[in-house]
Amino acid sequence: MLALNNGMLLHASAVVKGGKTFLFLGVSGAGKSTIAALSRKYTVLGDDIIAIRKCGRHYYAFQTPWRQQPFIKLKRGLKGKAAAIFFIKKSNRVSFRYLPPEKALANILSNHIHFLAATGDEPLKKIFSTACDLVKNIPAYEMEFVKERSFWPGLEEKISAARR
């Protein structure tokens, strides 16, 4: 149903900070839960499965009812307007690199959509269309981060520079 209504389930964590929602996509072990834990002072929507859906002209990330880390408070209807997508990787440094839409799309389709293999033809076409539109409208970055240190100053600097 989500797929037929301009949405999909992403293997991601999502954090709302300053009215903007940041999506952190990664395979198992990449650091989605670590990102969520490092972001506790903000609103954390989830640390593993996030629903994303286009409503009007904007994309919104929503909490899902599946198990999350204990510090994540489930609240019905909690959502945030998507501002950026980050493909994450643990590292010994913090860095960000812009990804063009076609590379972001390939990454999302190959690694980050839940239940894609079990999806029928019509929903699959709709997911592909939604994913194409998502990466055209939301900037994407590769992000390396150190799990003990805040990445937020670098992230905000990168987002601000991209808007200039």
The CATH number that applies at residue 109 is: 3.90.228.20
pLDDT tens, 85-100? 999 999 999 999 999 9
The predicted structure's pLDDT at residue 80 = 94
The predicted structure's pLDDT at residue 163 = 59
Q: Determine, yes or no, domain membership for 71.
A: yes
The parent domain of residue 102 ranges over 3-156
Q: Determine, yes or no, domain membership for 164.
A: no
What is the pLDDT confidence band of residue 105, given thresholds at 50, 70 and 90? Answer: very high
Checking if the pLDDT of 118 tops 70, the result is no
Per the listing, tokens 């670590």 go with 34
Q: Tell me the whole-structure pTM to 2 decimals.
A: 0.92
Which residues have a Cβ under 8 Å from the Cβ of 164 and sit 6 or more positions away?
none
Which residues have a Cβ under 8 Å from the Cβ of 91 and sit 6 or more positions away?
144, 145, 146
Q: Determine, yes or no, domain membership for 31.
A: yes
Partnered with residue 86 across adjacent β-strands are 24, 141
Q: Determine, yes or no, domain membership for 7.
A: yes
Structural domains in the chain (count): 1
Checking if the pLDDT of 164 tops 70, the result is no
- CA–CA distance, 26 with 141 (Å, rounded to integer): 12
